[in-house]
A and B are shown apart, each in its own frame.
Chain A
Amino acid sequence: NAGVMQNPRHLVRRRGQEARLRCSPMKGHSHVYWYRQLPEEGLKFMVYLQKENIIDESGMPKERFSAEFPKEGPSILRIQQVVRGDSAAYFCASSPQGGEQPQHFGDGTRLSIL
C-alpha cells in the first residue's frame, strides 16, 4: 500500500530556471496539501487542493508559485524563475477527506538553488 510519493527527492536548479515538484497522493485520497520547510524553521502551509480545484492558497507566494492537481496524474508544485530563497524542503501530504482528517506525508523534495 504505497504512501504519498514525491519526486524528485532532490532537485538542483540555477537561479532563473523553473522547478517542478510532483506528488502522488495515497490511493483513495483526493485531498492534497503542500508545505514548505525553510532551514531552521517548521513546516509552513502553502496550498490545499482537491482534484481540479484549489481550495486554499493562502500560503502561496503571490508571484512565481503555482499548483495544480489535475483529474489524472500527480499534483504539481511549480516555481518559476527560482531564486536562492526558494531553497527548502517541500512536503506534500494527502488525506481521504479534508477538515480534521489526519494527513499522510511524503518524503519531501529538497530543492537547492545554485
Chain B
Amino acid sequence: AQSVSQHNHHVILSEAASLELGCNYSYGGTVNLFWYVQYPGQHLQLLLKYFSGDPLVKGIKGFEAEFIKSKFSFNLRKPSVQWSDTAEYFCAVNYNQGGKLIFGQGTELSVKP
C-alpha cells in the first residue's frame, strides 16, 4: 500500500540548532515529493518540491530537502532554525495517480527562543 512515514511526531529545538526531519515513502515507481508547512492558525504552504533532476532541492525560508531514491527518503533540513519556524511540517507524495497526495502524519516543531 502507498504510505508516507514521518519519524518524529514532535521535535523541540533551541534557536540556531540544525534541523532534520525524516520522511520515508513506500515504493511506487516514479514519485513527486513535497514538504508543506502549517504555521499556527494558518493554511498549509508549500516549502519545496521534487519532480526530477538534482536530488538536493532548495525551498523557501532556508529549507532544503534531499531525495535519496535508494532509501525512499526525502528528509527536510535547515542549518539554523529560528523561533518563527515553529509550525507543523508535512511530507507528501504524489504517486503519479492524478493529483492525489499521500501525506505523512506530520511533525510538530517547537523552537525555543
Which A residues contact B (CB, under 8 angstroms)? 3-4, 31, 33, 35, 41-45, 48, 55-56, 58-59, 91, 93, 95, 98-108
A26, chain B: closest CB distance, angstroms? 12
Q: Work out how many contacts link A and B, with CB atoms closer than 8 A.
A: 66
Question: Contacts A102-B49, A106-B43: A42 and B105 contacting too (C-beta < 8 A)?
Answer: yes
Question: Contacts A42-B90, A108-B43: A100 and B96 contacting too (C-beta < 8 A)?
Answer: yes
Residues of A within 8 A of B96 (CB): 99-100
Contacts A55-B98, A105-B43, A105-B45 known; 15 new A-B pairs at CB < 8 A: A33-B101, A42-B6, A42-B103, A42-B105, A43-B92, A44-B103, A56-B99, A58-B100, A91-B43, A102-B46, A104-B46, A105-B36, A105-B44, A106-B43, A108-B43
